[in-house]
Amino acid sequence: MELINSSASCSLSKFVLPKLHNRNGAASNPEILHRNSLHKSTPSVSVIKAAAGGGGGGGSAAETAVVVKDQPKQQRLHYEISPGLPAPFGATYRDGGVNFAVYSANAVFATLCLISLSDLPRGKVTEAIYLDPAINKTGDVWHVFIRGREVKDMVYAYKFDGKSSPQEGHYFDPSHILLDPYAKAVISRGEFGVVGADDNCWPQMAGMIPAGEDEFDWEGDLPLKHPFRDLIIYEMHVRGFTKHESSQNEFPGTYRGVVEKLDHLKELGVNCIELMPCHEFNELEYHSYNSFLGDYKVNFWGYSTVNYFSPMMRYSSAGTGNGHEVINEFKLLVREAHRRGIEVILDVVFNHTAEGNEKGPIFSFRGVDNSVYYMLAPKGEFYNYSGCGNTFNCNHPFVRQYIVDCLRYWVTEMHVDGFRFDLGSIMTRSSRFLWDAANVFGNPIEGDLLTTGTPLSSPPLVDMISNDPVLCQVKLIAEAWDAGGLYQVGMFPHWRIWSEWNGKYRDIVRQFIKGTDGFSGAFAECLCGSPNLYKEGGRKPWNSINFVCAHDGFTLADLVTYNNKHNLANGEDNNDGENHNNSWNCGQEGEFASISVKKLRKRQMRNFFLCLMVSQGVPMIYMGDEYGHSKGGNNNTYCHDNHINYFRWDKKEQSASDYFRFCRLMTEFRQQCESLGLNDFPTAERLQWHGHAPEAPDWSETSRFVAFTLIDSLKGEIYIAFNANHFPVTVALPERPGYRWQPLVDTSKPAPFDFLSDDIPDRDIAIKQYAHFLDSNFYPMLSYSSIILLLYPEDIA
């Protein structure tokens, strides 16, 4: 094969092939355009004949490759080129070179852009390789194979040309340098939150070119495969976890920084972390001056994806680089988490991208093939079921394959253990403005034609994921609602393997614990794993992900401190964020309150955490709630890269002997109880309901008391009660001849007597203080408190 000698650099404005049209405005025959471009383009052009079958790229006959370039300069690149293969998608190292393959069904022209790391920040393309549709296109896939020593030190992107008609859903524009949707790492800025030259918040991005085999040493890492029912999930933000100076971390705000603090999670009893978005996103998307705090707003949470295959570059301690470092650092996090028995779940955002609506930037999907990747109305408008400007076209045949490929990559290559799907209900909506079921399944279902966005009972994407031989074995969690009003908690298409963020659990538990009438029966359902939602569909308690707090909304400390949101720091006049929080400030609004109010708040926090740990289903803890992190009443902290969102390690140390101790002991207790992570919903043989008297539960509208006993093969029998009244009660305990109830947890007691672990001083004295009550089979409960009692033989108790 003949070597290509070409110039080192050409500006973005010079390397574009001319767009030619016939008299009617339609693009001419691609082959004619190819020949015309050789004579009419401004840059000089090299036409190289490739030898038959050369280069390992799949060529079988003499073929033509075209390189568009400026006038020769001193530095010249040397590489070989051949047609390449249409699979796999993305940039793939093979046979000593790199195969590039990208899908675009509606483009007329495609150009591969090779960019040196020095040219990237200057907005220049080092090499522009025109892909001839006659030889570099198979079906709707454009492809080329390149071999050369310089290629591994470069990054890549694409240009596509075709019809520019937003009314028809097409945004082709050869002036845009486009990121490959299959890129495995995105190269752009290296430092989080730092604006580029000339205040550019959207600097040029390009994909990493693979250099060879994976060099990361997994050290024999294998999937942990914890049973879903045994999980205790911890929702966390990679940067926020270690960025605060109190972390005293060598690599604050990074994947490596999380590794340094994994032992904290192990101590807490967590065996699964759910990472808020770690796919590449642009934190400068919302960049604007915030006069309230005197800093700049950023996209801190990351729910605005730029590329789904790429780990967030600026979460890496390596900073700028060629992308291999960030991939290996993420792998390090997964490996070290697994070493400690902790699984890793990714929060993925396949409901929309950062390109927004028609006024948003064009950096990838829209320029590659807008009408494929996004849900469009008949006149090209963007459907907005995500609330963020666009909606990913999840059930389009190619897009759903793209999503499955992406998920499989994160499982097989990055060793993650599962996924939480943000606004997952969007994945159940039909694609395009006319959806022909016969074209998907081979026969009509649910009517032949459905309007765009119609919820499907058997959505193709969820079907593919559920039956994929790799993905059906990992954790799958749906946020079963979207911003378009579709609410599917308890009804998400599940194939019996999907779990759901149980938003109803959150709302009911908040209402009951704060003492709202009419929720005792619903609260009991929550304690049982919400069988009213999941049992009829053939699912199990572990299909319910139970949570009281998450990233979106009040923290646990703020839930008991504020009646109203306090979001002025967001710079939106307190108009953003949820208005209905089901919170209670315990009598006084805000952090500064009387001693009695503060004691009640701590009691309520213990009540909420105890409820999480004794409920059937899978408990999820939000980062910082284990020590009582406050965001000052802000329930929508998406835009703050500061102390508001940072884990405060100094605060954690202050609460280490108080609330953190309680949380740690409660998670340990749950793990020690066989009956608190059941695979099936509890029946009367195991669980018995009580009221103020044994076997006399009160499910009336005014009841604020719920109690039950639970048979446990390891602990014997457990008595658990919640008093959400504003007055104390004396509870009559179930009679167990020859046995005696003994207190373990009482949230009304100060630490360390809130949890009577074996190692606390004067434990026996504390237990004897209850003797006169327990001798008569009674127990006194203060207002807004909860208890756990264990049954012991009388000779031991």
- 132 in active site: no
C-alpha–C-alpha distance, residues 723 and 515, integer Å: 9
Long-range pairs for 247-254: beta carbons < 8 A, 24 or more residues apart? 247/647, 247/649, 248/649, 251/317, 253/192, 253/315, 254/315, 254/316, 254/317, 254/329
Q: What amino acid occupies position 97?
A: G
Write the CA distances from 136 to 100, 109, 216, integer angstroms: 10, 10, 33
Residue 22 burial (10 A CB sphere; 0-12, 13-18, 19+)? exposed
Helix 460-467 and helix 397-412, axial crossing angle in degrees, nearest 10: 30
Contact 695/688 with Cβ under 8 angstroms?
yes
Strand partners, 4: 79
Q: What token pair was written down for 359? A: 């006024």
HSE-CB at 615 with a 13 A cutoff on CA atoms is 35
Handedness of CA 318, 323, 328, 330 (dihedral sign): positive
Lookup result for tokens 């807490």: 268
According to DSSP, the residues that pair with 740 across neighbouring strands are: 792
Q: Supply 380's token pair.
A: 């090209």
Q: Are 182 and 90 in contact (CB under 8 A)?
A: yes
**What does the DSSP 8-state code read for residue 18?**
P
Going by their DSSP bridges, the two strands 279-281 and 305-311 should be labelled as: antiparallel
Longest Cα–Cα distance of the chain, Å, equals: 102
From 479, 482, 625, 746, active-site residue: 479
Q: Of these residues, 119, 127, 274, 422, which one is catalytic?
A: 422
How many Cβ atoms from other residues are within 10 Å of residue 111's Cβ? Answer: 23
What angle do helix axes 397-412 and 365-373 make, rounded to 10 degrees?
120
422 tagged catalytic:
yes
Give CA separation, 59 vs 105, 144, 380, in Å.
Answer: 22, 10, 39
Residue 657 is which amino acid?
S
Residues 6+ apart with CB under 8 A from 266: 340, 341, 342
Spatial contact of 376 and 432, defined as CB atoms under 8 Å apart: yes
Closest CA to 531 of 597, 617, 608, 606: 617
CA distance 542 to 531: 11
Nearest-angstrom CA–CA distance, 348 and 342:
19
Nearest to 143 by CA among 188, 189, 176, 94: 94
Task: Cis check for the bond before 793: say yes or no (omega within 30 of 0).
Answer: no
160 strand-pairing partners: 110
Residue 176 tokens read as 């845009």
Is the Cα dihedral 587, 593, 598, 604 positive or negative? Answer: positive
Q: Helices (DSSP H) in 175-296: which residue ranges?
A: 238-242, 255-260, 262-268
Active site residues: 422, 479
